[in-house]
Amino acid sequence: MTAEPLLSVDNLTVQFRTDTGWLTAIEDVGFSLGAGETLGIVGESGSGKSVTALSLLRLHATATTRIPTGTITFAGQNLLRLPSRALRRIRGGEIAMIFQDPMSSLNPVLTIADQIGETLALHQGLDRAAARRRAIELLDLVRIADAAHRVDAYPHQLSGGQRQRVMIAIAIACRPKLLIADEPTTALDVTIQAQILDLLRDLQAELGMSVILISHDLGVIAEFARRVLVMYAGRVVEAAPATTLFRRPMHPYTSGLMQAIPPLDADVHRLPTIQGSIPDPARRIPGCRFSPRCAEAQPTCRITAPSLVPVGPDHLARCPPRAGAAR
Amino acid sequence: MNLRVLNRLALRLAQAVPVLLVVAVVTFLLMHLLPGDPAVVIAGPEAGAEAIERIRHQLGLDRSLPEQLLLWLASLARGDFGRSLMLNQPVLVALGERLPVTLSLTLVSFAITVPVGVALGVLAARFRNTWLDSAVMFLALVGVSVPSFWIAILSVILFSVILGWLPASGYVPLSDGLLPWLLALLQPAAMLALFQIGFLARMARSATLDVLDQDYIRTARAKGVSEWSTIAKHAFRNTLIPVVTATGIILSLLMGGSVVIEQVFALPGVGRLIVQAILTRDYPLVQGTLLALAFLFVAINLLVDVIYTWVDPRVRYG
């Protein structure tokens, strides 16, 4: 990793206001990402992946969200302390984001040209005609056929895959240094999924941007990410290079996820599953948050909250029993 | 305007015909269901049974109900709305004199309602859960709760009697000049608008809140669009979709509400005409007026339909 990472997140905690008080959605999340690198964040729904992603651009509703601790350092400045005007220059300019549901992420009453052009006008000061020309180029770049005509279409005239390509075109319009892709393929069918991932990979190589890919799909993560962060119940439970993680998962939760991937070479009637379900975030679990579902839980696991410790080269896990055994 | 829109319009117009027919039959039956007899009113309190019977015969009221209905419908089909029994002039002429007053009142009131109501609603949504939001919602509640004739009388006392800024009553035709026309209508129109503003502000607020929760608003923020631009450019047109529906209803309600306001401000409009006509059992006039109003409602809905195609591209092609 380079000496000065492009993005580093430290000790990030995000809380939401609910009727019963402040609810901690993610706690003590930390990671860093160098220029041009790809980070995958994986976890079940409710694990805090999307909350983490949205907080990078402070996209949570301000009235009901607070971030009591943490820093998000991007290119030398703390995004959490940035005045909103400066933050808006980064949003869509240096950091861009694409979302899970392309069906609802585009404004239904504006044309594609308007929606791509808006970013270009905001960050590059292009006028309407120039923005339109550039929008057509961008549609070409994201491989939408007949871009010159498609640019005047409304979102409802495009398919789901095309809409996600438009979202990508909007995201890369200003050549961002970092692209955050929050479940970009979840709402799409499998063949389109592969095409979109290919496109993202090609664009990343072409533009040299860093990518954070968020997914609940280990297959997608394995294919795409160099480094992987595994999240569970609002915490990072394991962080490692993808190859290490898939070869030697350290946290029982990660191992559980790996075992639940259907093998290609054998016929299994029943896949192993992780018992139980992700805990209600309103319930505080003492000790390790995974302990109620963990087959290997020790008595101490239920009492003291484990911390993220090195278990190998460039490999962190939040599981003391396994970490002890690894040493 | 493309062919598709024209097709839609033609279809909607054709659909209006049965609607108007039903309205015609129902108003006819309703009027004849009312106790009372126009012949008695025309003949006066001194008249004997024979005189009344003669008038009944002249007016055709001695025929059977189905016969009367068919005769009326047949003359309607020829474009003949009949003669008013009391005013001694054709129904269409009476309507032609009164309708401009009511339409003026309605349109001025509408022109006040929509911008004020929408602006208040959007503001309340933008500043959700602040004092501004509470203030707007309180005003909206007052607007929909307070009877319009009462607040109108208070307004006359303040603006016409005490301050002397606006005329207390009466109508000035548009042909006498735009400003006198507007001045005469300003107070009644504003009073008529109060209720609708309250209704529209609530509606626009919830529509805006709904839209602000949508994914594409998050997309706009992620693009670096400022808070106000997000509302003005991304939220507003989507907010307009339910608001356009509401404005159609509002126009209709304004025309209904003008009945009361015309009484308070002594405006010679359709509202006063119809009240008078009902009281004197002036069958052709009531029936003709209601039919004309029904036609206006259909026309308003048609207009709303056209506006939709402009606001929401999905309707245009869908």
Task: Encode pLDDT of B52-103 as tens digits.
Answer: 888 888 888 888 888 888 988 888 888 888 888 888 899 999 999 999 999 9
Give me the residues of chain B with pLDDT under 50, please.
318
C-alpha torsion angle, residues B223, B229, B233, B237 (rounded to 10): 120
How far is B77 from B241, CA to CA, in rounded Å? 37
Decide if A29 contacts A236 (C-beta within 8 A): yes
A149 touches chain B (CB under 8 A): no
Nearest Cα neighbor of B255 from B30, B81, B101, B93 is: B101
User: Which pLDDT score is estimated for B318?
Assistant: 46
**Token pair listed for B281:** 């059992």
Contact A119 B224 (CB under 8 A): yes
Decide if A216 contacts A225 (C-beta within 8 A): no
Asked if the interface predicted TM-score (ipTM) of this complex is over 0.90, the answer is no
Closest CB from A101, A122, A156 relative to B223: A122
Nearest Cα neighbor of A254 from A293, A282, A224, A280 is: A293
B238 touches chain A (CB under 8 A): yes
The residue of chain A nearest to residue B130, with distances taken between CA atoms, is A63
Looking at residue A67, what DSSP letter applies?
A: E
A302 touches chain B (CB under 8 A): no
User: Which pLDDT score is estimated for B252?
Assistant: 85
Q: How many CA atoms lie within 13 A of A3 on its CB side?
A: 0
B129 touches chain A (CB under 8 A): yes
**Token pair listed for A72:** 């998000």
Where exactly are the structural domains of chain B? 18-77, 95-317
pTM of the model as a whole: 0.82
Decide if A66 contacts A58 (C-beta within 8 A): no
- Compute CA distances B97 → A78, B156, B270, B273, whole Å: 71, 26, 9, 10
> Rg of the Cα trace of chain A?
21
Amino acid (1-letter code) at residue A319: C
User: Which pLDDT score is estimated for A1?
Assistant: 46
In the block, tokens 């005003």 appear at: B139
Give contacts of B227 with chain A, Cβ < 8 Å.
84
Contacts of A265 (CB under 8 A, 6+ apart): none
Vertex A20: Cα angle to A18 and A26 (nearest 5): 55
Give me the residues of chain A with pLDDT under 70, please.
1-3, 326-327
Amino acid (1-letter code) at residue A6: L
C-alpha A268, offset from chain centre: 31
How far is B76 from A84, CA to CA, in rounded Å? 66
C-alpha torsion angle, residues B52, B58, B63, B68 (rounded to 10): -120
Task: Give the class (CATH, top level) of B95-317.
Answer: mainly alpha
User: Which pLDDT score is estimated for A212?
Assistant: 96
User: Which pLDDT score is estimated for A269?
Assistant: 76
Q: Is A8 helix (H, G, I), strand (E, B) or coil?
A: strand
How far is A140 from A138, CA to CA, in rounded Å? 5
User: Which pLDDT score is estimated for B317?
Assistant: 53
Amino acid (1-letter code) at residue A279: P
Amino acid (1-letter code) at residue A104: S
B216 touches chain A (CB under 8 A): yes
User: Which pLDDT score is estimated for B316?
Assistant: 65
User: Which pLDDT score is estimated for A63?
Assistant: 81
**Token pair listed for B34:** 């009312």
How far is B200 from B202, CA to CA, in rounded Å? 5
| SS3 of chain B | CCHHHHHHHHHHHHHHHHHHHHHHHHHHHHHHHCCCCHHHHHHCCCCCHHHHHHHHHHHCCCCCHHHHHHHHHHHHHCCCCCECCCCCCEHHHHHHHHHHHHHHHHHHHHHHHHHHHHHHHHHHHHCCCCHHHHHHHHHHHHHHHCCHHHHHHHHHHHHHHHCCCCCCCCCCCHHHCHHHHHHHHHHHHHHHHHHHHHHHHHHHHHHHHHHHCCHHHHHHHHCCCCHHHHHHHHHHHHHHHHHHHHHHHHHHHHHHHHHHHHHHCCCCCHHHHHHHHHHCCCHHHHHHHHHHHHHHHHHHHHHHHHHHHHHCHHHHHC
Closest CB from A111, A156, A170 relative to B314: A156
Contact B224 A167 (CB under 8 A): no
